[in-house]
Amino acid sequence: MRRRASGCPPRTCRTTVGAGKKALPSAATTPEGRAAEIRDAALALGFDAVGFAPAHLGPEVRARLDAFLAAGMQGEMGWLAERVEQRAHPQGLWPEAVSVIALGMNYGPEDDPLALLERRDRGAISVYARNRDYHDIVKKRLKALARWMVERWKGSELKVFVDTAPVAEKPLAQAAGLGWQGKHSNLVSREHGSWLFLGEIYTTLDLAPSGAEVDHCGRCTRCLSACPTDAFTGPYRLDARRCISYLTIEHHGPIPHEFRAAMGNRIYGCDDCLAVCPWNKFAHAAREPGLMPREDLSAPRLAELARLDDAGFRALFSGSPIKRIGRDRFVRNVLNAIGNSGDPALLDVAAALRADPSPVVAEAAEWAARRMDEAARQQGSR
Ligand code: B12
Ligand code: SF4
Ligand code: SF4
């Protein structure tokens, strides 16, 4: 599928919120009035959740981040250990920030994403990556909201973020009332379950806080026991090095042997801990077209994905977040799934990649072919 020229659904596609209206009333001058106006504008632009918090986080966020880093749980994501002061404190990043606007965009799936895990000749791409890159979609909306805000409150300043900046997005979203950090460590919303992308605007405007959300996990531990690779060292604590999302997206070399079998057919990201959360019963499918699944990425055949060369990979994943990991890492993941498939028809596909110029692909092909050979021999001797 080609990228659409614009990600905005027609209903919300405006560069400036309120454009087309004859005369806007003058801008609100109280923290409550400003927050109310911004909420309306954000919802009109296609955001599904909006909240406000002071540009401040408690010392526990820094302490937890330090503990995570001290244990080395960031693995190869060395950038998490840089600019810690900025990540843990909004004013560490931008001293002039007075308020934070936390925004969420729903990317809920239509069906149970875990059903695909049974189809071993297919690759499971996590829900968030089955269509366009959410960074592009959310950033575009954040910028539209930002343009409208600086026009409306002249002299105010702001900065917009989604994912990649040193910003503690989940604690900020909780502080702004969008949800709470569940035991799987992601933000859970009473209205959208586990399926919200997050973005933020730091602003010099004083905005009335929405009030923080409290933890509604109670005694539930479903997400912790659902993890195929035992990545949780306890409630709220994730060892990223063991997480399939990290192993398939962030990790560069061969996948450590101890995780290969448990990864099954997951070839990009993982949804298990998110999908089992009981709060998803209140969730609904994404309304943003760019976040609805592409048909060809909903249950792609492993055999076809393994045959992708660089050009084929780039063409298939143009505009997709998957493009970022490149053909070699992606085919490595596909070969891991082929090794787990037990499908004899895929043996030749794996064997053909043993001589691939990329060492990471060749190693994964060797492993997959050997594993399938062994499985075939075991079946034959029964
Ligand atoms: C690094 C990163 C990853 C890493 C590490 C994940 C992690 N949990 O830290 C990896 C690659 C594994 C990853 C995976 C995923 N990610 Co990610 N990731 C990030 C990123 C860039 C930074 C997160 C971070 O700071 N981690 C460092 C640790 C220390 O922070 P933390 O998880 O908040 O950990 C806190 C808790 O453990 C807490 N804690 C410890 N004890 C206690 C006790 C209590 C009571 C509480 C409340 C908290 C608590 O303290 C820590 C510090 O606050 C954010 C974007 C951002 N800038 O925030 C996206 C982000 C968190 N990812 C996101 C997504 C969607 C995913 C995946 C679902 C993608 C997928 N399907 O594969 C998975 C989910 C895996 C999981 N269970 O977390 C979304 C989550 C949206 C949401 N609703 O929360 C974010 C916010 C991006 C976005 N803008 O939407 N991700
Ligand atoms: S995303 Fe998957 S591998 Fe990572 S913690 Fe959740 S269930 Fe475990
Ligand atoms: S599955 Fe249960 S413990 Fe995990 S985040 Fe959801 S409610 Fe909390």
pLDDT at position 376 is: 80
- What is the arithmetic mean of pLDDT over 216-222? 98
Residue 360's pLDDT is what? 98
Closest atom, ligand 1, to C-alpha of 246: 11
Q: What is the CATH number of the domain that holds 356?
A: 1.25.10
The mean pLDDT value for 242-262 works out to 98
Q: What number is the average pLDDT over the span 87-105?
A: 98
Confirm whether 325 is domain-assigned: yes
Asked if residue 209 belongs to a domain, the reply is yes
User: Residue 381: what pLDDT?
Assistant: 67
Q: What are phi and psi of 147, to 5 degrees?
A: -60, -45
Shared domain for 203 and 315, answered yes or no, is no
Distance 273 CA to ligand 3 centre (A): 8
- Structure confidence at residue 375 as a pLDDT band (50, 70, 90): confident
pLDDT of residue 25: 78
Question: pLDDT at position 23, please?
Answer: 62
**What was the pLDDT predicted at 251?**
98
Question: Above pLDDT 70, what percent of the chain?
Answer: 93
| pLDDT-based confidence at residue 374 (cuts at 50, 70, 90) | confident
Q: Which atom of ligand 2 is nearest to the CA of 246?
A: 4
Chain segment 272-286, per-residue pLDDT in tens: 999 999 999 999 999
Distance CA 74, CA 84 (A): 13
Q: What is the pLDDT of residue 378?
A: 80
Asked if residue 132 and residue 59 are part of one domain, the reply reads yes
Question: Are residues 41 and 183 located together in one domain of the fold?
Answer: yes
* Pocket of ligand 1, beta carbon within 6 A: 61, 64-65, 68, 77, 80, 126, 128, 162-163, 167-171, 181, 184-187, 196-198, 236-238, 240, 243, 245-246, 249-250, 269-271, 273-274
Please provide the average confidence, as pLDDT, over all residues in the chain: 93
- Do 161 and 202 fall into the same domain? yes
Q: Could you list the residues known to form a binding site for [4Fe-4S] cluster, using ranges.
A: 217, 220, 223, 227, 243, 270, 273, 277
Inform me whether the pLDDT recorded for 184 exceeds 60.
Answer: yes
The parent domain of residue 364 ranges over 301-382
Q: Residues 305, 380: one domain? A: yes
**Using only C-alpha atoms, what is the Rg of the chain?**
22
**What is the Å distance from ligand 1's center to 268 Cα?**
16
pLDDT band, very low/low/confident/very high, at 19 (cuts 50, 70, 90):
very low
Kindly list the catalytic residues: 163
CA distances from 169 to 8, 102, 310 (A): 23, 8, 34
* 341 vs 121: CA distance, rounded Å: 6
Residues 313 and 284 in one domain: no
Residue 2 confidence (pLDDT) above 50? no
pLDDT at 17 over 80: no
Task: Judge if 283 and 337 occupy the same domain.
Answer: no
Per-residue confidence (pLDDT) for residue 199, from 0 to 100:
98
Note whether 290 and 366 are same-domain residues.
no
127 pLDDT above the threshold of 60:
yes
Characterize 258-285 residue by residue with b for buried, 16 or more Cβ atoms within 10 angstroms of its Cβ, and e for exposed.
ebbeebbbbbbbbbbbbbbbebbeebee
Query: How many domains is the chain built from?
Result: 2
The pTM is what?
0.94
